[in-house]
């Protein structure tokens, strides 16, 4: 009966966790604004590439958001990219972790092709395609006459800042080539404090992803009008990617994500069902007194289906 009690226990734990997760996800308020189309001037909508690649065309853009439901601080500001394959094999390998951690010791740019050296052969720090393609749109927010300050501190994982990006490695020869891939880095700030870079370099597994841009420590009321001034710099037009700005309150679970809740509910429900099924089998055929190993075989049949 050990197997049955394990199933039962897992079910009894998972089902409430699932319910709580789902309830928490319901409370999250999100404002999502896709701006990559809207920010292209009307006379250039059929030539977006010319627009984004032409440095003389201003990239500022103003968006108006209406708060649908009260949002308690902290409000998380994310950018969301769609159709961006950060997990592409060639892309995801184009980095050198030893360099980020300790350039003096490693002194290397291996595996960073095609962003290893500048045209005149100087090593690039941070090297590689991932760093090179650092997201470079910027946002600022006002409500009425007030600026809503975006706090960009502590947006990255503490463990990344402390162990993966050195506080004595500084960007050099970065984004110096003919083709600019994204944001430039201030070369007097060590990598461990380049939080946008650190966030970006924790690559996403899926082609649609969100990355934290900052936090706003102000409560927003329903019907508040937020003006967003943004710089629409980043080129997603060449591969048909979408750009979205997301304002979100977050619970202890992180975001508006029902998946985890459902996953817990389904696994938990299945476990309880199996516990009952096994108990029934046991009661119907007590004379055979099924040993646990048989039960396990039976269980694996279920899971193989």
Ligand X SMILES: *[C@@H]1O[C@H](CO)[C@@H](O)[C@H](O)[C@H]1NC(C)=O
- What is the residue-wise DSSP string for 24-62? HHHH--EEEEE-TTTTS-GGGTT-HHHHHH-TTS--EEE
Q: Of the candidates 17, 28, 44, 260, which one interacts with ligand X according to CB under 6 A? A: 44
**Pick 26 or 223: Cβ nearer ligand X:** 223
Q: Of the candidates 26, 73, 83, 186, which one interacts with ligand X according to CB under 6 A? A: 186
Residues 258-287 close enough to bind ligand X by CB under 6 A = none
**Min dist. Cβ of residue 225 to ligand X (A):** 11
**Min dist. Cβ of residue 1 to ligand X (A):** 56
243 binds ligand X (CB under 6 A): no
Q: Of the candidates 23, 38, 57, 280, which one interacts with ligand X according to CB under 6 A? A: 57
| Separation CA 161–CA 245 (nearest Å) | 25
Which among 9-17, 50-58, 79-87, 282-290 is the span making contact with ligand X, rule CB under 6 A? 50-58
| Separation CA 245–CA 10 (nearest Å) | 39
Q: Where are the alpha helices (DSSP H) in the chain?
A: 2-27, 48-53, 89-92, 97-101, 103-106, 129-132, 158-159, 195-201, 259-284, 292-304
| Separation CA 217–CA 293 (nearest Å) | 56
Which among 124-132, 194-202, 229-237, 260-268 is the span making contact with ligand X, rule CB under 6 A? 229-237
**Min dist. Cβ of residue 145 to ligand X (A):** 6
Residue 215 φ/ψ, nearest 5 degrees: -130, 150
Q: Of the candidates 106, 233, 251, 257, which one interacts with ligand X according to CB under 6 A? A: 233
Residues 6+ apart with CB under 8 A from 142: 148, 226, 227, 229
Distance between start and end Cα atoms, the chain:
23
Q: Helix, strand, or coil here: 300?
A: helix
181 binds ligand X (CB under 6 A): yes
Site string for ligand X, 136-155 (x = CB under 6 A): x--------x-x--------
| Separation CA 115–CA 124 (nearest Å) | 7
Which among 7-15, 181-189, 209-217, 252-260 is the span making contact with ligand X, rule CB under 6 A? 181-189
Which residues in this chain contact ligand X in the complex, by CB under 6 A?
Answer: 41, 43-44, 50, 54, 56-57, 104, 107, 136, 145, 147, 180-184, 186, 188-189, 222-223, 233-235
């Amino acid at each position: 009966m050990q197997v049955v009690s394990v199933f039962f226990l897992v079910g009894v734990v998972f089902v409430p966790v699932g319910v709580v997760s789902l309830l928490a996800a319901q409370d999250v308020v999100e404002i999502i604004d896709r701006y990559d189309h809207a920010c292209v001037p009307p006379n250039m909508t059929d030539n977006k590439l010319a627009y984004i690649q032409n440095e003389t065309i201003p990239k500022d853009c103003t968006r108006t958001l209406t708060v649908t439901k009260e949002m308690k601080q902290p409000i998380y500001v994310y950018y969301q990219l769609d159709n961006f394959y950060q997990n592409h094999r060639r892309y995801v390998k184009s980095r050198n972790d030893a360099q980020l951690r300790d350039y003096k010791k490693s002194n290397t740019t291996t595996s960073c092709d095609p962003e290893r050296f500048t045209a005149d052969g100087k090593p690039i720090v941070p090297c590689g395609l991932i760093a090179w393609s650092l997201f470079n749109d910027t946002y600022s927010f006002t409500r009425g006459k007030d600026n809503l300050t975006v706090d960009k501190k502590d947006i990255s994982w503490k463990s990344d800042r402390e162990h993966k990006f050195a506080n004595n490695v500084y960007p050099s020869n970065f984004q110096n080539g003919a083709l600019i891939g994204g944001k430039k880095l201030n070369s007097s700030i060590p990598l461990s404090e380049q939080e946008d870079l650190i966030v970006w370099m924790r690559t996403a597994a899926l082609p649609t992803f969100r990355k934290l841009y900052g936090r706003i420590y102000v409560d927003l009321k329903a019907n508040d009008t937020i003006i967003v001034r943004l710089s629409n710099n980043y080129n997603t037009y060449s591969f048909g990617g979408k750009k979205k700005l997301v304002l979100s309150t977050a619970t202890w679970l992180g975001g508006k994500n029902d998946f985890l809740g459902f996953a817990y509910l389904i696994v938990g429900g299945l476990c309880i069902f199996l516990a009952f099924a096994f108990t029934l089998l046991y009661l119907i055929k007590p004379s055979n007194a099924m040993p646990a190993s048989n039960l396990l075989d039976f269980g694996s049949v279920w899971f193989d289906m």
